[in-house]
Amino acid sequence: MDAKRGVNFIGVTVPFVVHDGKGKALLQKRSQNCRDEQGRWDVGGGAVEFGESFEAAVRREIQEELCADAKNIEFLAVFDAHRIANGKPTHWVAVAHAAKVDPKQVKIGDADRIDKIKWFNLNNLPSPLHSQIFRTLDPAKKAGIVK
């Protein structure tokens, strides 16, 4: 049996709100190649690798997904993410962060998993949204990072 993070054992992930420093958040539309919630808009994120700090994981994932350098990384919240993916229960510990980027730097770096990216204010979010998105966006809003 192949051991899979979040399925056979608890996975650790770093969801992150990428923002422009002016209240807008960059969301990603998940492709059909994603493991779950395909076609839904989400914040960025990814698994923490063995030996990697949370901040290093955020920096790496932003570079991989968006070809951008993360600046001003801020901790937002920690939460348990329990979901069903492909008919199986999953469990991830999510350590959410926010990171400012230069919007001119941003482009899709993982075209296999990201169909589109777009900047949004919280009052004009797209649809459909990822089931866990507000667990990261709400703390960012409370901190005044996104509006």
CB 45 within 8 A of CB 85: no
Query: DSSP characters for 37-61?
Result: STT-EE-B--BPPTT--HHHHHHHH
Name the strand (E) or helix (H) holding 16.
Answer: strand 16-19
At residue 1, does pLDDT exceed 60? Answer: no
Extract the tokens encoding 37: 């919630």
Q: In whole numbers, what is the pLDDT of the chain averaged over residues? A: 95
Q: How far apart are CA 136 and CA 14, in angstroms?
A: 10
| pTM of the predicted protein model | 0.93
What digits encode the pLDDT tens for the residues 60-108?
999 999 999 999 999 999 999 998 888 889 999 999 999 999 999 999 9
**Percentage of residues in the chain with pLDDT exceeding 90?**
88
At residue 12, does pLDDT exceed 70? Answer: yes
Terminal alpha carbon distance of the chain: 45
Topology of domain 11-141 in CATH is Nucleoside Triphosphate Pyrophosphohydrolase (3.90.79)
